[in-house]
Amino acid sequence: MSYVKEALERIKARNASEPEFIQAVEEVFKSLEPVIEKHPEYVKAKILDRIAEPERQIIFRVPWVDDKGELQINRGFRIQFNGAIGPYKGGLRFHPSVYIGIIKFLGFEQIFKNALTGLPIGGGKGGSDFDPKGKSEDEIIRFCESFMLELQRHIGPDTDVPAGDIGVGAREIGYLYGQYRRIRGAFENGVITGKGIVYGGSLIRPEATGYGLMYFVHEMLNYNGVELAGKTIVISGSGNVATHAAEKAHELGAKVVAMSDSSGYIYDANGVDVDAVSRLKNVERKRISEYLKDHPTAEFTEGWQGIWSIPCDVALPCATQNDIDLEKAKLLVLNGVLAVGEGANMPCTNEAITYFLEKGIYLAPAKAANAGGVATSALEMSQNSQRLYWSREEVDTKLKGIMISIHQHAVEAAESYGFGYNLVAGANIAGFKRVADAMVQQGKY
Ligand code: NDP
């Protein structure tokens, strides 16, 4: 049995109760056989076993008092997965589905994504099973303060730098940073990214994941001689990533006809009014069905999973993991999809990925395609440590350059290991090699 297979068996046995984590590891390891064959030093250093074991996992109690005066207890997590190329970096997710397996899969993905950006950031992730939905502003504040009371011991601008993810946007980042600053008694704003502009946030950071996704998809299509302009797009989700991807898609001349939230999806043949969706979901915090009030010709369908039955040229899953399974992948292909761009983390199952690749669908994998968010977070860290601000144009130009360079690195890595134009393999290999080399050069631990 090859080292890749042996290591995978050990990792599966050790993490048997974490299916999402095993799925993420399998997806990466699938691309690594030819790399391991060419690099005996990785086998000697047991790199695969080491890379799949977090350097540190922190699990903590988060008690907070709700508006009725009742004590609530949630669970908090921070996984410092791999610090070989820089301080741990990765978002915080607040969602009731969060448990250690979700944070581990996200942290594992983050290692390679961060390496792909070419910037000095290691991989980490965190969050809580707290559900922000339906909570009052005061409850959100109390939860964030309690969460940071413990988290602050483990993070710092040079050690571990969290950011947002599902359920954690600019509002929560503000409350988290405010508490960190009070406890530390210092203005160390490089400790967290996604901040408001007035206290050290970067211009373009809120837009970066969605914009970056579209820059990447545009580059992937362009490289293959296909125009993005004029294409029909379906996007799942209506949060940070989805709305900014939709905005940029329209700017690039494509038409987004459907978007969703966890209650269902809207279809608007005229092209979705992105400002309206963004206001509804991210400012008023309402359900997406309310879109119909001002857009009476649009349609709403209950149940978010049906969105992939809508014919489109480009599918952009930007909500959550395992959104597109084999059955939905088949439906998309049957309906003529040309390209899939993963805005969310691990939104396609491994079976769906294999099917898309077999059918010659252009697939922009999450590690590469949604790396614009963390890349711009790293740019925010640079601005914070220099204590200056870059203009919108400067950050946007850097973001675009990074997305194009990630595409190029993925293309080259895939080609040099015999995968042809396969960005899934290319992204895995390019990200893995940078981290593996750093680990080998730093010794055995
Ligand atoms: P948001 O919380 O802003 O939005 C999430 C969207 O997805 C909402 O529309 C939400 O619906 C929907 N959604 C979330 N969970 C589920 C679920 N279990 N079932 C159905 N719908 C769901 O999150 P983001 O936009 O920040 O993140 C979306 C994805 O992108 C995640 O996979 C995240 O890890 C990934 N990502 C985010 C980055 C960032 O910079 N924010 C960077 C890189 C990746 P509802 O409002 O009803 O809950």
The active-site residue, picked from 89, 113, 125, 195, is: 125
Same-domain status, 324 and 225: yes
Give pLDDT tens digits for 304-360.
999 999 999 999 999 999 999 999 999 999 999 999 999 999 999 999 999 999 999
Ligand 1: centre distance to CA 93 (Å): 9
**CATH number of the domain where residue 224 is located:** 3.40.50.720
Distance, CA of 255 to CA of 263 (rounded, Å): 23
Q: Are residues 271 and 123 in the same domain?
A: no
Confidence band, pLDDT 50/70/90 cuts, at residue 212: very high
H helical segments located in 185-261: 205-223, 240-251
Report how far residue 28's alpha carbon sits from residue 395's, in angstroms, rounded to the nearest whole number: 30
Structure tokens at 417: 């290991």
Q: Please tell me what DSSP assigns to residue 54.
A: -
Q: Does residue 372 fall inside a structural domain? A: no
Instruction: Specify whether 125 is catalytic.
Output: yes
If asked whether residues 90 and 14 sit together in one domain, one would say: yes
pLDDT band at 417 (very low <50, low <70, confident <90, very high): very high
- By the 10 Å C-beta count (0-12 exposed, 13-18 middle, 19+ buried), 334 is classed as exposed
Pair 250, 274: CB distance under 8 Å? yes
Q: Domain tally for the chain?
A: 2
pLDDT score of 282: 87
Please check whether residues 30 and 71 belong to one and the same domain. yes
Identify whether residues 177 and 239 lie together within a single domain.
no
Domain that holds residue 230: 208-364
Query: In this structure, what CATH number is given to the domain that contains residue 80?
Result: 3.40.50.10860
Residue 6 pLDDT:
98
Give the integer Cα–Cα distance in Å for 406 and 215: 11
Where residue 443 falls (left for φ over 0; alpha for ψ -120 to 50; beta otherwise) is left
Task: Give the pLDDT of residue 13.
Answer: 98
CA distances to 204, 205, 312 from 194, rounded to whole Å, are: 10, 6, 32
> pTM of this prediction?
0.98
Compute the distance from residue 279 Cα to the ligand 1 centre, in Å. Answer: 16
Rounded Cα–Cα distance for residues 374 and 382 (Å):
12
Q: What is the mean predicted confidence (pLDDT) over 247-258?
A: 98
The answer to whether position 385 is within a domain reads no
Closest ligand 1 atom number to CA of residue 377: 40
Tell me, what's the pLDDT at 444? Answer: 85
pLDDT digit string (tens) for 135-152?
999 999 999 999 999 999
